[in-house]
Structure 1
Amino acid sequence: MAWQFPASFSTNVTAVDLGTTDDVYIGTNVSIATTSTYTIRGTGSGHEVEIDGSVAGSYAVYLGNSSDIEHDQIITVSETGRIFALSYGAIAVGYHSEINNDGSIKSKTTGVYFSGSPADLTVESTFNNSGVVDARFYGVEAYGTQKLHTENTGIIKGGSYSYVGGNGVDEIFNSGKIYGALSMGSGNDYYDGRQGFVDSDVTGGSGNDKIYGGTENNLFHGGANNDRLYGGKGADKLYGEAGADTFAFRAIAESTTSGVGRDTIYDFSHADGDKIDLANIDANTTASGNQAFKFIANSAFTGKAGELQDYTSGSGHFIKGDVNGDGLADFAIQITTNNVFVTGDFIL
């Protein structure tokens, strides 16, 4: 295994051929480009590419060939590093790989691409982004059965999708900004956007998914199977879709009586076994501890803290709760389906 240290140049063939064993360092003031297919290309396992300069081409960095045999590819783009691609910016084929971006990856197709199918499905690849990924179609694309762990503190943009998951588990922690829809595919996926921002919809796909929102107005789709949706603050739109889904609320501020902060559940289903989880909300703020709500169906509030009401009026259908005993609702969740709620529809 040897390191290559190219100077700046452009060519009409593969610019840097790593073979099956080599690594490459692109220095701060180094720029390499090609009009051919690959700028940096390596086959086999265990390549390392470090970019402090700039790399441009159709497939800017392409490591590996076989997703179930090869492994441990590493691509690092520093704060001064730049990738410009007509097709794919950074490709890591092989499980237990990582791509780290502190700089910029721009592509006219896909910014970052992972492909891995290990025999051990607990093996994961990782994508750490504190820089910018900006792609015309897919910001990040995952293929195969491996778990992909993503930490985003920067910006990810995708014209069609910011993130497209594969058949494995997609685990995304977003404390940065994501522009474009996320579709996490199959697998029991996890999206945590409590400290970040996303401007489009998040779809869990066909696994038992958990999706956490932040302070913005989120649009969440659970997809098939049994999902758990946490809208967080803001006026969130929640679709559990097929399966026994749970719509979870942890504070009254997560769904306010005012429309500007009120969540809407669009497809609550008795038949599917859906639940509304209010167990983390203290139903009686006049007493110590965390009290459970008492469901009073469509009866009027009586001035007792902890009452949970199924309320319908000309303005719509709502689940409302009184936590201080003043006879007025302190939070409200809008329901668009014609359900007659019973106590068993709630986790109190």
Structure 2
Amino acid sequence: MALRLGTPGNDDLVGTAGDDTFIGGAGDDTATGGDGGDAFVYQSLSDLSVWTGAIATTRETITDFGEQGQVIESGEADILDFSALTSFQFMGDDAFTASGRDEFRFERRDDDSLLMLFDAGGDGAADRYLVLDRYVGAGSRDESFVDQPVITNVIISADLFAYHYRVGLETDDVLVGTDPATDPEALSTDRIYGFAGNDRLYSRGGSDDELYGGEGNDRLFSNRRGTAIMEGGNGDDAYFVYSEFDQVIEAAGGGTDTVNSTSDYVFLTANVENLNLLAGGVTGSGNGLDNIINGNDGANVLNGNAGDDALSGGGGTDYVSGGLGDDWMRGGAGGDYLVGGAGSDKFVYYTASEAGFGADRDVITDFQGLGSGTAQRDRIDLRRIDADTSTAFDDAFRLIGAGAFTGRAGELRVVAAEILVVDPTPPPYADPPVTAPGFLVEGDVDGNGTADFQIGVVSAAALRAPDFLL
């Protein structure tokens, strides 16, 4: 490793084919790193050029900043080291905030260079600047920043806590964070900015990585060995969450956003609409919006909370709770427990097998139908089930009351019964099973005079024809 030291004047510093360290010092210096992962060290603000509103002919410049090779890792990359300066807050390409804190930002120029502006003191105006003249990456040379993602390692803190910045273009970028497990030179925390375009941003092995999608329909991926803070920005964004400690941030009006999670537990934060539990995900809860929440093939616990939610359990024995609002609920395969909660809820079945039979039947634990004497108006929706499998048509059921089946396909009956209700809480915290008065809803779809499916319904009031959609 070679050390390139400048003078108090304007220096032209050229590196070797290896890893070099440049300390230009005062004056408007030009540094050319060449091959290797070079470090450009700035020990005071006076090492940077004074900003007067335009780029001067003589200015602090790095001519070939970038990363080398097809695989982007911080160990192969150039580093900007501002650790001797007061800690600066990165603003992406947003304007300075005049908040009293030190800030720096990137700005792309018409001449294909990248400008780094520094507001020291936080008055909202740039004081110093540095020009990154050309990007060198992906095995090629002399490529403009307009055509390439901006991928930088920036050390901005004197306490050795470093951020690795990856900044995309206003196009569809794929930006991947560093992995300390495989790259010993990787910096401790990544900050990845997609900006405009439909970007894919990946955290890897670091802790507390920060991913910012910006404009566009972005996909933001956490990692399985650390945690991430993810903010999609405007657009319909998709988040992939692997830890219950991951944070998802969305502003109101920022599009329709979806969290996809393998975590044991995930709670939708404010302004996020949808949740999918991927393989390994167990518990998912909504927020105050009208959420769409989908389980997986395991035993899930889904909670809609407030809002008019749509919840689908998928496979397994699920516990599905609508909470407040008028909710749409589907247990899916397996013997599920459905809790409507407040509001007028709809319990939906696509096939007879989804309802189940015997010990594997679904149970609706709090049905409030037309006869309940409340303002709620729950209904059981069987319209998607073919009531007569012997015809080529999609037939509707006929409600026959509590009487026995007559041997005609498509009959639906309601019989008073004690319904077993099981607490879905994992042991040893679960309450013991209890029985409650209610009804068995039974359907015969093949005309053999016996029930092909059953639904247990806990209800103090008798079920009536208006309580069904047939």
Q: TM-score, normalised by structure 2?
A: 0.56
Residue aligned with 2:401, SS: coil
Partner of 1:20: 106
Cα separation, partners in 2 of 1:76 and 1:43, compared to 1, 3 Å: closer
Equivalences for residues 85-164 of structure 1 within 5 A: 85=207, 88-92=208-212, 94=214, 96=216, 98-101=218-221, 104-107=223-226, 110-114=227-231, 116=233, 123-127=235-239, 129=240, 133-135=241-243, 137-139=244-246, 141-145=248-252, 146-150=254-258, 152=260, 156-158=262-264, 161-164=265-268
Gaps (5+ residues) in structure 2?
Answer: 1-63, 68-72, 93-104, 108-113, 115-148, 181-185, 421-438
Structure 1 range deviating more: 196-205 or 237-246: 196-205
Cα separation, partners in 2 of 1:163 and 1:12, compared to 1, 3 Å: farther
Matched, 1:171 2:290: no
Which amino acid in structure 2 is aligned with residue 147 of structure 1? G
Once the two structures are TM-superposed, the CA of residue 125 in structure 1 deviates from its matched residue by: 2.1
Cα separation, partners in 2 of 1:251 and 1:12, compared to 1, 3 Å: farther
Q: TM-score, normalised by structure 1?
A: 0.73
Residue aligned with 2:263, SS: strand
Distance in 2 (CA, whole Å) between partners of 1:190 and 1:139 is 20
Tell which structure's C-alpha radius of gyration is larger.
2
Equivalences for residues 1-348 of structure 1 within 5 A: 4-5=66-67, 7-8=74-75, 19-21=105-107, 24-25=150-151, 39-40=163-164, 50-51=175-176, 53-54=178-179, 60-61=190-191, 63=193, 74=199, 76-77=201-202, 82-85=204-207, 88-92=208-212, 94=214, 96=216, 98-101=218-221, 104-107=223-226, 110-114=227-231, 116=233, 123-127=235-239, 129=240, 133-135=241-243, 137-139=244-246, 141-145=248-252, 146-150=254-258, 152=260, 156-158=262-264, 161-168=265-272, 170-173=273-276, 176-193=278-295, 196-197=296-297, 199-260=299-360, 262-270=361-369, 271=374, 272-314=376-418, 317-348=439-470
Residue aligned with 1:238, SS: strand
Once the two structures are TM-superposed, the CA of residue 156 in structure 1 deviates from its matched residue by: 2.1
Once the two structures are TM-superposed, the CA of residue 333 in structure 1 deviates from its matched residue by: 0.8
Structure having the larger proportion of residues in strand: 1
Residue aligned with 2:353, SS: helix
Q: Deviations 1:219-277 (Å, cap 9, x if unpaired)?
A: 222222221111110111212222211110011110211323x1111121123111100
Distance in 1 (CA, whole Å) between partners of 2:256 and 2:384 is 30
Cα separation, partners in 2 of 1:255 and 1:126, compared to 1, 3 Å: same
Which amino acid in structure 2 is aligned with residue 144 of structure 1? A
Distance in 1 (CA, whole Å) between partners of 2:247 and 2:280 is 11
Of all paired residues, the percent bearing the same amino acid is: 23
Gaps (5+ residues) in structure 1?
Answer: 65-69
Cα separation, partners in 2 of 1:3 and 1:97, compared to 1, 3 Å: farther
Contact 1:147/1:171 (<8 A) preserved: no
- Number of positions where the alignment pairs a residue of Structure 1 with one of Structure 2: 311
Q: Deviations 1:78-112 (Å, cap 9, x if unpaired)?
A: xxx72321xx33332755462343x83433xx535
Which amino acid in structure 2 is aligned with residue 219 of structure 1? Y
- What's the C-alpha RMSD, in Å, of the aligned pairs? 4.0
Contact 1:284/1:324 (<8 A) preserved: yes
